[in-house]
Amino acid sequence: MKIAYIQSIGGASGDMLLAALLDAGLPLDFLQHELAKLPVSGYALSVAQEARREMRGVKLNVEVKEPTRYSPKRLSEMVSSSGLDNRTKQRAEMVLTALWTAEGRVHGESQAELELEELGTVDTLVDVVGVSIGLDYLEIEKVYASPLVLGAALPPRRPGGYPNPAPATLELAAMAGAPVAADHPMYQGAGELTTPTGAALITALAQFERPAFSVTGVGVGLGSRDPQDFPNILRVWLGEMDPAPATVRQGAIVLLETNLDDVQGEVLGYAQEQLFSMGALDVWYTPVQMKKNRPGVILSALVPQHLEEAAVQLILRETPTLGVRTRPVERYVAQRESFDVETDLGVISVKVKSLEGESVGVAPEYEDCRRISLETGVPYQEVYQRAMAEARRRFLS
């Protein structure tokens, strides 16, 4: 399996990441040919070999002739309606959704109300879609990343303006729970090091770890600054690693069971709720016929081994049972990841199931659908179906 590892040495921006992919083997003419599938014009790409603190790399400039501003909805439509490959569009839309979600949280506005400034111009679209094109051209299946290098708080990002990092950059890091590099005196005076576009690309596409893999290539992208104390560069390591198994075998799990024939339904519901709250992997009831022809149920709970004693105590305390059966079990689980999906009703978390790197199923989170249904008055089933349709379009098309 081919992977990419993004190493932020002196920050990260969209053009730095795209430049690193160009340096790693993405042909400029192929990039331009694919970008031409977007319904936009009025920009030009130029590439140069330069150095930062004696480190060679590629500097990419996206020159926009007329910086027209577009709404988030329009930028997303440009991607979805283009002739780009589905995988390219999927990655680009994930990044744009993360970016608009962060901007909306910063300004307290929905995507429909959001008015973008520099992030609404063509160069943002070129950076995001260009990186997606590059990852597909290089056949990258998984992306990993080092901690984000945000830089120092001073000087302000703009004279008299807010400090570094930009609010949207910090919001993106918080949304992803992203690790950030520690502050360091060498960053003082260097200005903004990680931009919102750079943060959106990394947090939306990458996992923050460096796995064991064989390095097959390196691309270096240069930033626009050349500080005295560190190189303003970003490196992309290309490599190969053994593919993740289709399923993961989990051990250290215990199955707890007990028969119940003299218990109220409310007690069963409460016990199930408490077991899930303490960390049970699954809890269910099975109807059975018990002695003296009395109907009853079997309470079954899968719990991690370290929770066995606490779960047994809870079942004994919260139900009328006098004993609990226990036995060790193992199970196979499919790979799964959670992503935020932007719908016309709001952002809904969606669980994506995959086998051997291919998405095979999606499921909107109940709590998000329930919350939006209560907030908007839209029936739960409709909220769920809208989220399901958007998730299928993005991950299963």
Residue 387 belongs to domain with CATH number:
3.10.20.300
- Domain match, 341 and 304 both: no
- Tell me, yes or no, whether 329 lies in a domain: no
Q: At which of 186, 212, 240 does a domain end?
A: 240
28-35 helix and 122-137 helix, angle to the nearest 10 degrees: 120
Could you give phi then psi for residue 174, rounded to 5 degrees?
-70, -40
Is position 343 within any domain?
yes
Q: Is residue 259 part of a domain?
A: yes
pTM exceeds cut of 0.95? no
Burial of 83 per CB tally in 10 Å (0-12, 13-18, 19+)? exposed
Rounded to whole angstroms, the Cα distance separating 329 from 248 reads 14
Same domain, 96 and 17: yes
Cβ contact 386:369 at 8 Å: no
Contact 383, 345 (CB under 8 A): yes
The predicted pLDDT at position 67 comes to 77
Biggest alpha carbon–alpha carbon distance for the chain:
86
Cβ atoms of 201 and 17 within 8 Å: the answer is yes
Q: What is the CATH number of the domain that holds 301?
A: 3.30.70.1380
Q: Strand order of the sheet with strand 214-222? A: 43-52, 55-64, 214-222, 233-240, 2-8, 142-145, 206-207
Nearest to 231 by CA among 28, 46, 20: 20
**Same-domain status, 227 and 121:** yes
Please tell me the distance from the alpha carbon of residue 18 to that of residue 46, in angstroms, as a whole number.
12
Both 286 and 203 in a single domain?
Answer: no
pLDDT in tens, the chain (397 residues): 899 999 999 999 999 999 999 999 999 999 999 999 999 988 999 999 999 988 999 999 999 987 788 888 889 899 999 999 999 999 999 999 999 899 888 888 877 777 777 678 899 999 999 999 999 999 999 999 999 999 887 777 666 667 788 899 999 999 999 999 998 888 888 888 999 999 999 999 999 999 999 999 999 999 988 888 899 999 999 999 876 666 778 889 999 999 999 899 999 999 999 999 999 999 999 999 998 888 999 999 999 999 999 999 999 999 999 999 999 999 998 888 888 888 889 889 999 998 877 789 999 999 999 999 999 999 999 999 999 998 998 888 6
What's residue 340's pLDDT?
A: 86
Do residues 307 and 351 both lie within one domain? Answer: no
53 and 15 in a common domain: yes
The whole domain housing 317 covers 247-323
Q: Do 195 and 105 share a domain, yes or no?
A: yes
C-alpha distances in Å from residue 5, one per residue of 23, 123, 312, 363? 14, 24, 44, 29
- Domain boundary (214, 240, 266) is at 240
How many domains is the chain partitioned into structurally? 3
Q: Are 212 and 265 part of one and the same domain?
A: no
Q: Considering Cα of 366, then 372, then 375, then 381, what sign does the dihedral take? A: negative
**Predicted local confidence at residue 270, as pLDDT:** 96
Is 371 among the domain residues? yes
Q: Where a domain ends, among 190, 211, 240?
A: 240
Specify whether 164 is located in the same domain as 275. Answer: no
| Whether 236 and 221 share a structural domain | yes
Q: Is 231 a domain residue? A: yes
Residue 131, judged by CB atoms within 10 A of its CB (0-12, 13-18, 19+), counts as buried
Are 217 and 95 part of one and the same domain?
A: yes
Amino acid present at 175? M
Same domain, 20 and 66: yes
| Cβ–Cβ < 8 Å for 148, 193 | no
The per-residue pLDDT for 118 is: 66
H-state helical runs in the chain: 14-24, 28-35, 72-80, 86-107, 122-137, 167-176, 196-205, 265-278, 308-318, 366-376, 380-395
